[in-house]
Amino acid sequence: MALRTIRIAGDPVLEKKCREVKEMTPRLQELIDDMFETMYDANGVGLAAPQVGVLKRIVVIDCTGEDPICMINPKVIEQDGQQTGEEGCLSVPGKAGIVTRPQHVKVDCYDRDMNHVILEGEDLLARAMCHEIDHLDGKMYMDLAEGGIHDVSYDYDEEEEEAPRTI
**Contact letters (x/-) for Zn ion, 82-121, by CB under 5 A?**
-------x--------------------------------
Taking the least distance from each CB to Zn ion, the nearer of 89 and 107 is: 89
Residue nearest to Zn ion (CB): 89
The reply to whether 145 sits near Zn ion by the rule CB under 5 A is: no
* 58-61, strands of its sheet edge to edge: 46-48, 58-61, 69-80, 104-110, 116-122
Taking the least distance from each CB to Zn ion, the nearer of 116 and 150 is: 150
State the nearest-atom distance from the C-beta of 62 to Zn ion, in Å.
14
State the nearest-atom distance from the C-beta of 141 to Zn ion, in Å.
6
The reply to whether 125 sits near Zn ion by the rule CB under 5 A is: no
The reply to whether 6 sits near Zn ion by the rule CB under 5 A is: no
**Distances, alpha carbon 48 to alpha carbons 61, 132, 152, in Å:** 9, 6, 22
State the nearest-atom distance from the C-beta of 87 to Zn ion, in Å.
9
Q: Please choose, from the candidates 52, 156, 140, 41, the residue with its C-alpha nearest in 3D space to the C-alpha of residue 96.
A: 140
Note if 20 is an active site residue. no
Size of the site for Zn ion (CB under 5 A): 1
Taking the least distance from each CB to Zn ion, the nearer of 89 and 130 is: 89
Task: Give the residue numbers annotated as catalytic, written as ranges.
Answer: 132
Q: Interface residues with Zn ion (CB under 5 A)?
A: 89
